[in-house]
Structure 1
Amino acid sequence: MDVPLPLVPAKILTAPTTITQFPDYPKTLILEQCKTIKDLNQIHAHLIKTRLIHNPRVAENLLESAAILIPNLPMDYPISIFEKLEEPNSACYNLMIRAFTLKQSPNEAILLFNEMCGRSVRPDEFTFPCILKACSRLHALMEGEQIHALIMKYGLGSKGFGSNGFVLNALIGMYASCGEVEVARHLFDGMSERSVGTWNSIFSGYIRSGCWEEVVGFFREMLEMEVGFDEVTLVCVLTACGRLNEIELGEWIHEYVVAKGLKGNPTLVTSLVGMYAKCGRVDTARRLFDEMPRRDVVAWTTMISGYSQANRHREALELFHEMQKTNIVPNEVTMVSILSSCAVLGALETGKWVHSYVMKKRMKLTVTLGTSLMDLYLKCGSVGNAIEVFRKMPSKNVFSWTVLIQGLANNGQGKRAIQFFNSMVEKKITPNNVTFTGVLCACSHAGLVDEGRGFFVSMTREFGIEPEIEQYGCMVDILGRAGLIEEAYQFINNMPIQPNAVIWRTLLASCRVHKKVEIAEESLKNVVKLEPMHSGDYILLSDIYASVGRLEDALRLRNQMKERVIKETPGCSVIEMNGIIHEFFSEDNIHPDLVEVYNATENMMEKIKLAGYVPNTTGARLDAEEDDKESSMSHHSEKLAIAFGLIRTSPGTTIRITKNLRVCMDCHNATKIISNVFNREIVVRDRNRFHHFKDGSCSCNDYW
């Protein structure tokens, strides 16, 4: 006989915890035993039921629990409590102002302070530090000065707020964070007694204002006066040491940390990691990082940023992959650092993963994060994705617009870049020098000479921006690329500022394209005076000599390089495959798949020869035989990387290459034919710009 089984509910409900005995004076219960939203709801209900909610002290305790003590509780809850208070006192206002500031809503804190004053609730000594901190967060100098006036009004007499250390510390911090460091220092100097907290207030203010030299000088003064300091002080000073490359002082602090047994402080050790990384001692930073028993997101991000800032981008990505194996959740700063490394390496797939992670975690698309995503896509030649991110950004600043304009220019979409510039101006966003560099680059790459002249003039006439060396360089490039070599030469000679090596190098590169030997020789003379050891300059003139048949002069110049021990920078091309970065060098002999790659390259070159490719050996070694020249040209780094991409990706997949040097004429011609023969889109980012090869043509229209 079958015995029926008892019914089991799908979900077993546990009875809510109840407060068996509610004390007459519930302060301890509310502030110490109330740990969760559930507890808060139960206590709140009981207070309403018993009408204890109308007791100001009890209401204040409940408000403190809701606004400050219980983590991750939205401000809606404490606001609902606060709004039902008949006559909230200064303590209640203080709690709400503090909560808004802590929860990154300083605007609301200031509005509430204004309401407090409007309702004639007198601020007390605890109000001012909270509201001044909100002003510091917003860099709200005008509001801070008004609050300072109130402090003076209420602080008459020796026992007033004006002599309160906490209030003065907050004032010092407010003025320093708003850039008024002299006012902050004046307040500091006028204090008869200074605690460590006072010193830290001005240190923190200097840090927020970027006054790195003042921080270091102030700390040295502190040591001479034998004033005590704490770990907060050291964190500030280490930050300044990193910015100023003050490695000796940083090492002294490191020795102090070890001697005083402070290596257990993760914030302090993380600051040491950051200091060493910024001072170029990345390996020392990594050793410290590896020794840390516990590493939070700030520690991981600091080390990743250190690699990124030191141009060790592959190691930054490798460390990020290690971080993913832990339970540490990356933050916005982590994402920005990784996107920066992805952008430099052209690691589009890893960058796309970061983008999908940002969306999955519903991270706010801030100006910084959104601009970093745009920069990644633009530096990987993915213009459509960059514009999509730009349009989805809730707010944009001049830097966001500038990155887009510059990126479009570099990707051969000069006219589109100018359209976005015009939209930017229409939206009343004032361009800066860097914006005009982007616009002028757009004119240069698109051959828009007259437009370029117009923008250059409008900088001063319409926007009051005096051109700097970068904008003068763009004008030389615009004229030179268009073949107006003599005009470009005269433009340089008439410049009101001294031309640098980049200006003359730009003209020299244009001379190579248009085979202007005499001006090229003059350009090299001027470059060598400024940067005598740059190999690319000699190679440019050597190539010009070779292109006009002056082989003896070309050989002479190459021999000069050898005599002066000027080493030629080897060509290096990078391709990302399944999240792994592969590097190829010209005539590579170290890649692990070398045999396979060379076989694929020979096969590729044979096929494009059948399609009409004729090797251009002008840029090959002058002392080599013709067959050797052709072989050398076929083993340029971008050709090896493209061949690798052809055999390791499925048909139709876009191949993306990043190269450290300018693409040579032969590789440019070869890649156009490769794109047609193998039916592939190939995106090559060289030192100057992007080349989008498709169906046998390039986005630059052979104008680069």
Structure 2
Amino acid sequence: MASPVSAAFQRHAAVATLRAASAARDLSKGMALHARLILSTPFNIVLHNHLIAFYAKCGRLGLARKVFDAMPFRNSVSGNFLMSGYISSGHHRDALGLLRVIDFGMNEYVLSVAVSATAHIRSYDMGKQCHGYAIKAGLAEQPYVTNAMLHMYCQCTHMEDAMKIFENVSGFNAFAFNSMINGFLDRGKLDGSVMIVRSMAREVEQWDHVSYVTVLGHCASMKDLVLGVQVHAQALKRRLELKVYVGSALVDMYGKCDCAHDAHCVFEVLREKNVVSWTAIMNAYSQKELFEDALQLFLDMEMSGVRPNEITYAVALNNCAGLAALRTGSALSVSALKTGYWRYLPVSNALINMYSKSGSIKDAWKVFTSMPYRDVVSWNLIITGYAHHGLAREAMEAFHYMLSVAEVPSYVTFVGVLSACAQLGLVDEGFYYLNTMMKEVGVIPGKEHYTCMVYRNYGLGHRVAEQILQLKPNDVGTYVLLSNMYAKANRWDGVVKVRKLMRNMGVRKEPGVSWIQVGSEVHVFRAEDKEDWRNFEGLPFTNSSASATSTTDLSHLSLHGQPWTEDITKSVRLTHTGQISVKKRRRTTKMPCCRSIVGASIDVIKKITEKPEINEAYKDATLLIVYDSDEVKARLKAEKGRDLRRLLGRSMLPKAGKGPKLGGGGGSDSCCHRFVVVASI
């Protein structure tokens, strides 16, 4: 029989071994020791408590619970170890369920762990019960319990109860200050956050790094650059700006305050960069609409070995939406699908946004219907996406679907709904929803809503434009809107006057561009581009006398000896801005006046036309680019009555006499080309 000294030594050795196995997560070593203890050592509560802690840290909560249930008697340490294991593994309800079976009184540590579990599941009622127990047991004034209660009320968005506890906290408590700031920010109560920050600045001279991160988050939410710079200066004095968490918070603050350059400077000096740092700098670039640079940062992050998280994917996909980069966005969606991040709400919403703004509204709807759960942002994205694509009826159907599942509409929701009503000419319905949003939902209409309600009131538009031009005579957007308004009213004299006024004032609109993407190369051209043919040099065109399309035989058609169809060897994606007026070179025998891309898929990103049926005609179709409409008309006439429109099923050949040429140039060398559908895929 072992002596008491020898038994105590064995217990101490076993405890030390279990601690080492826990630190190393060495499950086999710990289980082997457990087997020896069962055979050779009588029950000891200290050993069994450490066995519970060991199995919990190794993620084997089932074994930890078996040890707990097999104990002839337990203490508060037993419950604390098991509850902590449940919480660290995300099993918060199991941790709270343990309260029903414990046969010992809870101390401040067990109670604080239980309250933390209620905070994670945002169970206000159970948190109140724990608070009542703490008051009865005389534990409410204990620091651990006070902090846990404060955090629980903030997480459950009951800031009034949290404020009562905070006012009774004695001395400086960094955790209490940080919890209150984050609680007010999460509730959107920025005034309360400002009050706590000011109180913290008055009472505390030395902040910890968590306080810096919290206050910088407040500055980012408030876009308070002045306070953010002051906090940065304090962090510099304490040399905390190089810490990864403080540095990441600084990058995020400068980015949200529209200071991408300062964010980049902080990012560059960070000694260690984690996924939060990379995501913050990507988001800072997105704020400045530097989408290409932000996507390059995503590639740099992966090259550095840092794996993206769900927020990183969401930021990257929104950058793709800004560029209308469908191919890159689709690649990111595949990556998110493989990693499982697509199920996270921010990623799913970003996917809807990317597909919608990249011209693939069908894929956006597929993502929407496959989401495990949705929030109001999800509904807003799909409704406004349909409205942006000219699919007003689908937008209204999505809105009614939203109401049927009891989702409360928001400010943005009604922008999409009223836009859809304007497109469909539903005046009465539009006024109904405008009144509903004010009286029943409590949303105050803004200029976006009233803009949807004012339609074709050209007199009002003219008066408003005059007022704006008096305040901002060089605002190019006002001139363009006024010109477009006159064009819609067929008042071409007004259009000419606006253009002359722009020239006299020295106001110049930056021309839009179109581009064709072949592989990884993008070929850009714009209206009246004198180098239009040169921009297409290098595209993989090859002459062919046979048709490349499987649905329509065009091999018998020709124009001045040039075939109507030419093969293209790679997939081509086309983004366009509608009708494009170009300056055409004089034809030579080496440069055909008609070229075509057959078999190319088309993504319509900008829809200049307001006719949804024309927008739909661009989708899922092969393409013919015609450079000279006069030659096309001559070709139609020469075909002896054979109507190309009837032959091809549908087309968008340019028609003569539709308004003046406003782009300049003019003359016999000026022509229009449009994209003509030759066959549906």
TM-score bucket (shorter structure): 0.7 to 0.9
Matched, 1:633 2:623: no
In 2, distance between residues paired with 1:224 and 1:454?
A: 51
Task: Give the secondary structure class of the aligned counterpart of 1:634.
Answer: strand
Deviation at 1:329, TM superposition (A): 0.8
Give the match for residue 124 of structure 1.
107
User: Distance between the aligned counterparts of 1:218 and 1:467, measured in 2?
Assistant: 29
Report if the CA contact (8 A) 1:440-1:471 is conserved: no
Matched, 1:142 2:142: no
Aligned partner letter, 2:453: V
Q: Distance between the aligned counterparts of 1:424 and 1:153, measured in 2?
A: 46
Distance 1:206 1:675 in 2: 49
Contact 1:346/1:576 (8 A) holds in 2:
no
2:651 alignment counterpart: 696
Q: CA deviation at 1:41?
A: 3.1
> Following the alignment from structure 2 to structure 1, what is the Cα–Cα distance between the partners of residues 250 and 37?
50
The alpha-carbon distance between structure 1 residues 40 and 673, as it changes in their structure 2 partners (threshold 3 A), is closer
Task: Say if 2:251 and 2:264, in contact at 8 Å, map to a contact too.
Answer: yes
Secondary structure class of the residue paired with 1:126 = helix
Contact 2:383/2:398 (8 A) holds in 1? yes
Q: Report whether the alignment pairs 1:24 with 2:11.
A: yes
Quick one: distance in 1 between partners of 2:147 and 2:242? 28
List aligned pairs for 1:20-59, cutoff 5 A.
23-25=10-12, 26-34=14-22, 35=24, 36-50=26-40, 54-59=43-48
Name the % identity: 25
Q: Aligned equivalents of 2:20 and 2:122: distance in 1?
A: 35
Measure, in 2, the Cα distance between the counterparts of 1:595 and 1:670: 28
The answer (yes or no) to whether the contact 1:305–1:337 under 8 Å persists in 2 is yes
Match of 1:663 among 597, 608, 619: 608
Within the alignment, does 1:473 sit opposite 2:442 as a pair? Answer: no
1:454-508 alpha-carbon deviations (Å, 9 max, x no partner): 55565567x544561367436526xx3xxxx4xxx5xxxxxxxxxxxxxxxxxxx
Question: Does 2:506 correspond to 1:538?
Answer: no
| 2:367 corresponds to | 389
CA contact (8 A) 1:575 1:656 kept: no
73-82 or 309-318, larger mean C-alpha shift: 73-82
Aligned-partner Cα distance in 2 for 1:38–1:650: 65
Q: What is residue 143 of structure 2 aligned with on the other side?
A: 165
Residue 438 of structure 1 is aligned with which of 410, 413, 416?
Answer: 416
CA distance in 1, matches of 2:112, 2:180: 14
Give the equivalent residue in structure 1 for 2:166.
Answer: 188
TM-score normalised by the chain length of structure 2: 0.73
- Contact 1:349 1:576 (C-alpha < 8 Å) held by counterparts: no
Gap change, CA 1:103 and 1:675, over 3 Å in 2: closer
Conservation of the 8 A alpha-carbon contact between 2:134 and 2:140:
yes
Match of residue 90, structure 1, among 76, 83, 101: 76
Structure 1 residues 353 and 129: CA distance shift in structure 2, 3 A: same
The 3-state SS of whatever aligns with 2:169 is coil
Instruction: Answer whether contact 2:525 2:535 (CA < 8 A) is retained.
Output: no
Aligned equivalents of 2:375 and 2:223: distance in 1? 30
Letter in 2 for 1:97: M
Q: Any stretches of 5+ residues in structure 2 without a counterpart?
A: 1-8, 543-553, 561-578, 585-593, 626-648, 654-681
Distance change in 2, residues 1:195/1:534 (3 Å) = same
Provide the rounded CA distance (Å) in 1 between the counterparts of 2:104 and 2:400.
50
Residues 364-401 of structure 1 deviation map (CA, whole Å, 9 limit, x = unaligned): 60222222212211222223322222232222223323
Matches within 5 A, 1:310-389: 310-363=288-341, 365-389=343-367
Query: Deviation at 1:588?
Result: 6.0
Structure (1/2) with the larger helix percentage = 1
SS of 2:372's equivalent in the other structure is: coil
What SS does the corresponding residue of 1:261 show, helix, strand or coil?
coil
- Alignment pair present for 1:60 and 2:49: yes
| Contact 2:418–2:453 under 8 Å retained in 1 | no
Q: Give the Cα separation in 2 of the matches to 1:674 and 1:272.
A: 44
In the TM superposition, 1:537-686 aligns within 5 A as 537-543=478-484, 554-561=495-502, 566-573=507-514, 578=519, 586=527, 595-597=534-536, 633-634=581-582, 651-656=598-603, 658-659=605-606, 663=608, 678=623
Aligned partner (choices 88, 101, 105) of residue 87 of structure 2: 101
SS of equivalent residue, structure 2 residue 603 = strand
Residue equivalent to 1:6: none
**Counterpart amino acid of residue 522 in structure 1:** R
- Matched residue count: 581
**Inter-partner Cα distance in structure 1 for 2:428 and 2:230:** 58
Number of the residue aligned with 1:238: 216
CA apart distance, 1:125? 0.5
What SS does structure 2 have at the residue aligned with 1:652? Answer: coil
What are the equivalent positions in structure 2 for 1:441-452 lying under 5 Å apart? Answer: 441-449=419-427, 451-452=429-430
Task: Encode CA deviations 1:563-614: one digit per residue, 9 max, x unaligned.
Answer: 656553432446665467776555569x9x98233898xx9xxx99989xxx
The 1:30–1:610 alpha-carbon spacing in structure 2 relative to 1, beyond 3 Å, is same
- The residue type equivalent to 1:696 in the other structure is S
Q: Which segment is superposed worse, 189-198 or 322-331?
A: 189-198
Cα RMSD between the aligned structures?
4.3
Contact 2:414 2:449 in 1 (8 A): no
1:490-501 mapped onto 2 (5 Å cutoff): none
Give the letter aligned to residue 27 of structure 1.
Answer: V
TM-aligned CA distance change 1:188 to 1:382, over 3 Å: same
User: Any idea what SS the aligned residue of 1:139 has?
Assistant: coil
Residue 599 of structure 2 aligns to a residue whose secondary structure is coil
The alpha-carbon distance between structure 1 residues 84 and 574, as it changes in their structure 2 partners (threshold 3 A), is farther
Q: Distance in 1 between matches of 2:105 and 2:314?
A: 44
Deviation at 1:529, TM superposition (A): 6.8
Change (3 A) 1:548 1:128: closer
Tell me the equivalent position of 2:643.
none
Q: Displacement, 1:180? A: 3.4
* CA distance in 1 between partners of 2:191 and 2:558 (Å): 62
- Tell me the alpha carbon deviations over residues 220-256 of structure 1, each in whole angstroms, 9 at most, x when there is no partner: 4434445432111111111112222322332233333
Distance change >3 Å, CA 333–CA 74, structure 1 → 2? farther
1:521: which partner in 2? 462
Take 2:581 and 2:498, find their aligned partners in 1: how far apart are those partners? 20
Relative to the length of structure 1, the TM-score reads: 0.71
Secondary structure of the corresponding residue to residue 140 of structure 2: helix
Q: CA distance change for structure 1 residues 571 and 471 in 2, over 3 Å: closer, same or farther?
A: closer
Q: Which amino acid is 2:20 matched to?
A: E
Q: Which amino acid letter does the alignment assign opposite residue 56 of structure 2?
A: A
Pick closer, same or farther for the CA change 1:354–1:319 going to 2, 3 Å: same
